[in-house]
Chain A
Amino acid sequence: MHVIRELLDMQIVDRDDEHVGRVDGIVAELRNGEPPVVVSLELGFVTIARRIHRGLEAVAERMHKRWSVRRSARYRIPWSDVMEVNTHHVRIDVRAEETVAFDWER
């Protein structure tokens, strides 16, 4: 799998096709002499800000502390929860409404 092309920015849906968010970042583990392994998918404004410009990350962190309803600025979904990756979405074995991503809807 081409991780950057096929995973990054894709729509994440739960078991019932509910939109959870997008793959804003990918957390990978570097291993000596072996290819890196994807550990988790990361969601959140701070992750997006970091990708756009490193300087924006701190701004996004401050905005999160001041205004965000979400418990954490970053939300990670372990790779073990990923059920399916196709050209349309990344499906995870978690209920969307139970995740941090749905703090606004609670």
Chain B
Amino acid sequence: MKKGLQLALGILTAIGGFFDIGNLVTASQAGAKFRFQLLWALLLGTIIVILLVEMSGRLAAVSKKTIPEVAREHFGVRVWFGPFVILVLVHLMTIAAEIGGIAFALQLLTGISFQLWALPVGILVWLFLWRSTFSAIEFSTASLGLITLCFVVAAVWHHPPRSDLLAGLLPSLPSDDGAKYWLYAVGILGALIAPYMFYFYSSGAIEDEWDRTYLGINRIVSVTGMSFGALITAGLIVVAGMVLFPKGIAVDSVNQAAFVLTEAFPFWGFALFAVSMGIACLGAVLEVSLSLAYTVSQTFGWRWGESLEPKQDARFALVYTVGILAASLLMTLGIDPLRLTIYTMALNAMMLPVVSIPFLLLMNDGHLLHEHGNGILGNLATGVIVLISCVLFAVSIPLVLLGGG
């Protein structure tokens, strides 16, 4: 019974963590500009994210250790320190972008500038983390995240041509604006394969006390949860492709994206978009803030756990407190959430080798995983992921510059 509940909760949490400001921005931009032509990037990213999430869960369930823990132990602090600093930076940028997303959703609903909302939002997020346990966060993220299914409902309502959808699942070259096309493809991949997903997931497995008997659940949660998350993102690409693309509306600010639901839900589509965006970003910012605290605490070997009282793991709580405060203050300066998201997604894509290469090495360590290490197929898949990561590392920043961000 307990495992059944955890299975359901795991799937829902995976959906909650999957869909965030990054997916929202990149999917609506891709759909508005290239209709369904970039669905292949979503498919590729989802396969990669399923494989890496499954590995991080397996590592935690078998070795009782998370990725930052084994990374420091295996590579030593001198090698791990560089990637660790970049990871902290990416986490901070993602927290800022998610807080920006919630604040912008509130701006859409109230008309009051997102700059004014950023600090109160940050304080509320912090209070929630400070007062609640891991299970409470897991449950609230999971249940509230279901509202984002509205994108799938809207996509079905629009009756998109099936042949066009299938054609979009195969990579094809754009007829014009190649730089933007590849920038959006990299953005979609960067939004999907966000490092926090793996650090949060493996730490969550430890918080939920997974052991080897959870390996089956881990496989189902990673495949089903990520696929459902991808379905929501696909829904948004399709809706943007059906609503914004024919009118030639490019998503240069979140305001334009907010109209994607107005045809399927005429009276409350705008508000529904804002609420979905706010809730998706809220779920994500909770997970990213915890992921930051997990990564730092585990790297330094501190006591950690969201289920503990903050005074029992003061340094863990201090990390997310400082992270949320810094990110909120950054957003009060008036940085455009959309632009920040694009840069963050490009940085995510750029640092994928840092995320993927450790998997290749750690998942073959017999001391950690015994007979549960990667097989030939697993290693082959991880090798391909590392290759793709290296390509993304090389192209992401030039594309941001060429594509105009």
Residue of B nearest to A87 (CB): B367
Chain A: number of interface residues, binned into ranges? 10 to 19
Check: B302 CB closer than 8 A to any chain A CB: yes
Residues in chain A near residue B76, CB distance under 8 A:
8-9
Say yes or no: A51 contacts B77, CB within 8 Å. yes
Interface string of B65-86 (1 = CB under 8 A from A): 1000100110011100100000
CA distance A11 to B314 in the complex (A): 18
Say yes or no: A52 contacts B301, CB within 8 Å. no
Chain B: number of interface residues, binned into ranges? 20 to 34
Residues in chain A near residue B72, CB distance under 8 A:
9, 22
Interface string of B312-352 (1 = CB under 8 A from A): 11110010000000000000000000000000000000000
Q: Which one of A52, A96, A105 contacts B78 once the chains associate, using CB atoms below 8 Å?
A: A52
Residue of A nearest to B80 (CB): A9
Residues in chain A near residue B162, CB distance under 8 A:
none
Check: B311 CB closer than 8 A to any chain A CB: yes
Residues in chain B near residue A27, CB distance under 8 A:
none
Check: A20 CB closer than 8 A to any chain B CB: yes
Q: Which one of A8, A22, A51, A88 contacts B301 once the chains associate, using CB atoms below 8 Å?
A: A22
Say yes or no: B314 contacts A104, CB within 8 Å. yes
Interface string of B49-77 (1 = CB under 8 A from A): 00000000000000111000100110011
Check: B131 CB closer than 8 A to any chain A CB: no
Q: Which one of B64, B301, B311 contacts A19 once the chains associate, using CB atoms below 8 Å?
A: B301
CA distance A9 to B300 in the complex (A): 9
List residues 1-58 of chain A with CB under 8 A from any CB of chain B: 8-12, 18-22, 24, 48, 51-52
Q: What secondary structure prevails in chain A residues at the interface with B?
A: mixed
Between A and B, how many residue pairs show CB distances below 8 Å? 46
Say yes or no: B312 contacts A11, CB within 8 Å. no
Say yes or no: B312 contacts A105, CB within 8 Å. yes
Min Cβ gap B11→A in Å is: 30
User: Contacts A9-B72, A19-B303 hold; do A105 and B314 have CB atoms under 8 A apart?
Assistant: yes
Say yes or no: B304 contacts A48, CB within 8 Å. no
Residue of A nearest to B73 (CB): A9
Min Cβ gap A10→B in Å is: 6
Residue of A nearest to B71 (CB): A9
Residues in chain B near residue A10, CB distance under 8 A:
73
Q: What secondary structure prevails in chain B residues at the interface with A?
A: helix
Say yes or no: A21 contacts B301, CB within 8 Å. yes
CA distance A87 to B73 in the complex (A): 10
Residue of B nearest to A52 (CB): B81
Residue of B nearest to A5 (CB): B76
Say yes or no: B301 contacts A12, CB within 8 Å. yes
CA distance A25 to B304 in the complex (A): 22
User: Contacts A104-B318, A105-B311 hold; do A22 and B300 have CB atoms under 8 A apart?
Assistant: yes
Residues in chain A near residue B318, CB distance under 8 A:
104
Min Cβ gap B299→A in Å is: 8
Residues in chain A near residue B313, CB distance under 8 A:
105
Say yes or no: B304 contacts A19, CB within 8 Å. yes
Interface string of B289-318 (1 = CB under 8 A from A): 000000000001111100000011111001
CA distance A105 to B78 in the complex (A): 27
Residues in chain A near residue B63, CB distance under 8 A:
88
CA distance A18 to B302 in the complex (A): 9
Min Cβ gap B6→A in Å is: 23
Residues in chain B near residue A18, CB distance under 8 A:
303
Seed contacts A51-B78, A105-B314, A105-B315; 15 additional CB < 8 Å A-B pairs? A9-B72, A9-B76, A10-B73, A11-B69, A12-B301, A18-B303, A19-B301, A19-B303, A19-B304, A48-B300, A52-B81, A88-B64, A104-B315, A104-B318, A105-B311
Residues of A within 8 A of B (CB): 8-12, 18-22, 24, 48, 51-52, 87-88, 96, 104-105
